[in-house]
Homo-oligomer: A and B are copies of this chain.
Amino acid sequence: MLKIPEHQVAGHKASDGLLGPLVDDSGRFYKPLQDDERGSREVTFYTSFSSNTRVPDHIRRFFPNFYGTQLLEASDGSGLRPHLVLQDVVSSHLHPSIMDIKIGSRTWYPQAPEDYIQRCLKKDRETSSLSLGFRISGLQVHGNKELGHWKPERKVVQKLTADEVRLALRKFVSSNSSADPYVVPDSLFASSVYGGSSGILAQLLELKAWFEDQSIYHFNSCSVLIVYEKESVLKGGPSGAQVKLIDFAHVVEGNGVIDHNFLGGVCSLIKFISEILTTPDECLTTNCLQDSERAVLTMGTATGSEQSIYNA
């Protein structure tokens, strides 16, 4: 009954015969535990978090539900392996559009081994993490038969400049997203996905308020997942816009200090999204696009089939 997730945009993928997560039809997500301390640290986090009475309910909803661990046949055929059993956060969506954004200008932390620190530091400097306070780890925009999915390559989206991120965030909520560089994103769903009292921006602001205060956990190298349902918006229905935090293999104790690294990054993302809601699109005509902006419009290929977008 277990199958390969259809809508994974980042992270290790079982579809390549590698060790990766699986899902079932009941809305559960099975994430294999890695052998090193990443696996045990993520179990520790979910166990601690799910029983922590200091976490308010309105914050808990930003995290996948946790159903313990379970021994399962691993996707790479290596035999039985413990898996985290989690809520499949996109299972309620038929055709989700998804963006995975790794938060923080720094993905390493003082307690990590030196070689891990150096690897992360190098990648943070090579990608947009250092400059923007976050990097897009992967994304897919659900399309139609003509347009196909828009699923740009992971290596490209990680290194976007500020202007390119702005454009990608517009394309993410456009009805005409495609890899065609001459199609100017119409940002048609911006107000229903990003805006409103239950939109992405409102949810990110709630998260931000919690991060200004909470000093229980430091969420190193975590991602914010942004999901919505394009088909529903097109029909005038609810956008189903939701923010989820995922990937807790590097969470450490906060020890009474706020997670200033995550907070700074999420504030930067909030600023980008706010600008889309407040800045008119008038300038986004094909004629006034800069070369650098046109470059980002080419960053994806239109395809209805799956493309590999891994995360290291």
Contact = CB atoms under 8 A, between A and B. Distances in A.
A233 interface: no
Contacts of A300: none
Given A106-B105, A131-B110, A162 B257 contact: yes
B267 A260 contact: yes
Secondary structure at chain A's binding surface: helix, strand, loop or mixed?
helix
Interface residues of A, number: 28
Contacts of A166: 256
A206 interface: no
Most chain B CB within 10 A, of A213, A263, A265, is at A263
A308 B110 CA distance: 30
Interface string A258-276: 1011011101101100000
Given A162-B257, A263-B264, A264-B260, A271 B106 contact: no
A298 to B, nearest CB: 22
Nearest to A161: B255
B132 A110 contact: no
A215 interface: yes
A267 B131 contact: no
Contact of A264 (B121, B215, B264): B264
A110 B130 contact: yes
Given A212-B267, A267-B212, A271-B212, A131 B261 contact: no
A204 to B, nearest CB: 12
A273 to B, nearest CB: 12
Interface of A: 105-106, 110, 121, 125, 130-133, 162-163, 166, 212-213, 215, 255-258, 260-261, 263-265, 267-268, 270-271
Closest 10 CB pairs of A and B: A264-B264, A260-B264, A133-B260, A260-B268, A258-B271, A162-B256, A162-B257, A263-B264, A258-B268, A263-B267
8 contacts: A110-B125, A110-B130, A133-B260, A162-B256, A257-B268, A260-B264, A260-B265, A264-B264
